[in-house]
Amino acid sequence: MRVVVTGRQGQVVTSLLERAAERAEVIALGRPDLDLEDEKSVLAALESAKGDVIVNAAAYTAVDKAEQEPEKAMRVNAAGAGFVAAAAATLNTPLIQLSTDYVFDGALTRPYLESDATGPTGAYGRSKLEGEARVQQAQPNAVILRTAWIYSPFGANFVRTMLRLGASRDEVGVVADQLGNPTAALDIADGVLAIAARLRDDPTPELRGVFHMTGAGEASWADFAEAIFAAAQRCGRKAVRVKRITTADYPTPAKRPANSRLDCGKLARLYGVALPHWRQSLDACVERLLSST
Ligand SMILES: NC(=O)C1=CN([C@@H]2O[C@H](COP(=O)(O)OP(=O)(O)OC[C@H]3O[C@@H](n4cnc5c(N)ncnc54)[C@H](OP(=O)(O)O)[C@@H]3O)[C@@H](O)[C@H]2O)C=CC1
Ligand SMILES: Cc1cn([C@H]2C[C@H](O)[C@@H](COP(=O)(O)OP(=O)(O)O[C@H]3O[C@@H](C)C(=O)[C@@H](O)[C@H]3O)O2)c(=O)[nH]c1=O
Ligand SMILES: [Mg+2]
């Protein structure tokens, strides 16, 4: 199977390249060859790459910065996703579009289902939700895969931020009133490759549409930080305390959902895909990061 993915250095792209092994050939397309802000480059690059399945993993992911440049976030995450979907339709190739828990407002007190109403609270979430709509319009042969709180040994993510802050402090204040599902990018790669193989071979309509896919288990950002520092201590780093604070104590330009836990039951039922518990994958990630420094 030939899987063509947008972006070159992102967490999910890098993980797909690493996890492909014998299962798939992964071809990563990034700027300047494929620029989501340039429709012609998207079609030309995807056409020459000739994938069995296309994965749109490139995105504008700077949640706070998006509040200052919402038009740019829209161009990349909404219009750009639409260009990828239109190209996928033209090339008659199934598409997997990565999306986010930040499409929800976080007011529910249970994990979100695919059928729950969306209501993004920030510019990033709005741009990703519009991207979902553009994909569904242009390419019905698509899976919109909403995931969350991605971490990995690669790129920018909360685990690397905490390890950096912890190196120079004894205590870090982290919000304890936002709940979600930490998800390892390497686990996402395994899930995406399984879904891609099925999409290529199985035309069943029920396999298309919106699906939630996160690591098993839930956490607040403070719980997640505590687990990161515990894992780091097992690797020989000094102890770092987490001060459990509230969202009001940690003002940010973008408002984030208080509860963005995703119910992943639909993916388990229809695809038989369920990701490992975040704690299990976190230990492997921290060990890998700290043994290489
Ligand atoms: N990070 C997270 O916590 C979450 C992310 N998601 C979604 O999952 C997907 C993957 O996220 P993740 O791997 O963390 O993302 P990263 O931020 O790690 O990487 C984003 C990638 O997008 C590329 N990119 C940005 N703008 C453009 C553009 N105009 N044209 C082409 N490529 C571009 C970047 O390229 P370059 O390397 O050249 O900068 C980079 O490779 C995204 O769709 C994201 O919205 C969903 C939930 C959580
Ligand atoms: C660095 C830091 C953050 N925080 C808080 C701020 C915020 O509420 C929460 C997470 O902060 P971050 O900015 O790392 O995470 P954020 O950029 O909001 O992460 C999101 O990225 C996008 C791309 C997604 O799609 C989401 O699923 C989610 O992963 O932790 C603290 O409380 N203390 C700290 O020291
Ligand atoms: Mg961030």
Please give the ipTM for the structure prediction: 0.98
Distance, in Å, from the CA atom of 259 to the CA atom of 275, rounded to the nearest integer, reads 20
Mean pLDDT value of segment 17-39: 96
Strands 219-220 and 179-180: antiparallel
pLDDT for 21: 85
Task: Output the CA 160–ligand 3 centroid distance in Å.
Answer: 11
Task: Output the CA 68–ligand 1 centroid distance in Å.
Answer: 18
φ, ψ dihedrals at 67, nearest 5°: -65, -30
Per-residue CA distances from 2 to 94, 125, 252 (Å): 12, 30, 41
Burial of 136 (0-12, 13-18, 19+ CB in 10 A): middle
Residue identifier of the C-alpha nearest atom 35 of ligand 1: 7
Res 292 pLDDT > 80: no
φ, ψ dihedrals at 159, nearest 5°: -65, -45
Res 22 pLDDT > 90: no
Asked if 250 is an active-site residue, the reply is no
Mean pLDDT value of segment 263-286: 97
Task: Output the CA 33–ligand 3 centroid distance in Å.
Answer: 26
Res 159 pLDDT > 80: yes
Cβ of 102 below 6 Å from ligand 1: no
Cβ of 46 below 6 Å from ligand 2: no
Mean pLDDT value of segment 86-90: 98
List domains and CATH numbers for the chain. 2-156+183-216+261-275 (3.40.50.720)
Mean pLDDT value of segment 129-156: 98
Res 293 pLDDT > 60: no
- Roughly how many angstroms between the first and final C-alpha of the chain, as a whole number? 35
Contact 83, 39 (CB under 8 A): yes
Q: Name, in order, each residue with C-beta under 8 angstroms of 214's C-beta and a sequence gap of 6 or more.
A: 101, 147, 148, 149, 180, 181, 182, 183, 262, 264, 275
pTM: 0.97
User: pLDDT tens digit string along 165-205?
Assistant: 999 999 999 999 999 999 999 999 999 999 999 999 999 99
Select from 140, 287, 168 the least CA-distant residue to 228.
Answer: 287
Distance, in Å, from the CA atom of 259 to the CA atom of 150, rounded to the nearest integer, reads 16
Q: Over the chain, what is the mean pLDDT?
A: 97
Strands 25-29 and 2-6: parallel
Res 284 pLDDT > 90: yes
Cβ of 48 below 6 Å from ligand 1: no
Mean pLDDT value of segment 281-285: 97
| CA 258 to the chain's CA centroid | 18
